[in-house]
Amino acid sequence: MTMPFSFPEFDGKAILITGASTGIGAALARAFAAQGARVGLHYNSSGEAAEALAREIGEAGGTAVPIRADVSDSRALETAVEEAAEKLGGLDGLINNAGGMVRRVAYAEVSDEDYREVMDLNARSILVASKAALPHLKKRGGFVIHTTSIAARNGASNGGGLYGSSKAFVSNVTRGMAKEWIGHGIRVNAVAPGVISTPFHERYSTPEQLEAMRATVPQGRLGEAEDCVGAYLFLASDRLAGYVVGQVIEVNGGQLMP
């Protein structure tokens, strides 16, 4: 990714990005690596994509280390965070971006298994990863950025309500964690993407559903992963966002205006 601006403060910083093999996570990995950060590329099932991205970043002169874990498995996720810290030489930042809908299911049909899968993937995982990263972040301050969603505020589209509820959890954890961790010099914030053209929607939304959602966006188009990058760079920057704590930045083309 060619960046039209520079963040010298990221040079040499160690940043772990979960869900970094495709979509928003991959765009973030390219962006932070382009600024000189050493990036941990977490992935689960998309190993080929993660390896290809690591090669791409390396060929561009950056540093990226693929790290595999199922974020729904707490022990595996804790191990992945420790692996990232070891391979990157510590941690200066954590971006909890991994997540998903699992499947579309109406509230009237939600099972205990549906609830467990979605909450483990989207809610519990950010607690586990953040807690595992905390000892490393405490050593030199830093940041945590959670990826929540427009669905946390608008109830999500049909069958996505459980996903939206899990992301509402993420938004509220952002505020509570921010209050507790700022005393350690760690700023915690979140980004709430709207409808972004990524493998997420290729998996969970039909073309008709995407067109219906696009029609509700005042800007007249769906977002791209790169549209989200600036919000994360801003929140990660002490120079630009040093007094920004516990906030959720909406990136949705005007689809939701709180």
For the question of residue 163 being annotated catalytic, the response is yes
Q: What distance in Å separates the CA atoms of residue 162 and residue 60, rounded to the nearest whole number?
A: 40
Catalytic residue of the set 43, 163, 232, 243: 163
HEC assignment per residue over the chain: CCCCCCCHHHCCCEEEECCCCCHHHHHHHHHHHHCCCEEEEEECCCHHHHHHHHHHHHHCCCEEEEEECCCCCHHHHHHHHHHHHHHHCCCCEEEECCCCCCCCCCHHHCCHHHHHHHHHHHHHHHHHHHHHHHHHHHHHCEEEEEECCCHHHHCCCCCCHHHHHHHHHHHHHHHHHHHHHHHHCEEEEEEEECCECCHHHHHHCCHHHHHHHHCCCCCCCCECHHHHHHHHHHHHCHHHHCCCCCCEEEECCCCCCC
Catalytic residues: 163
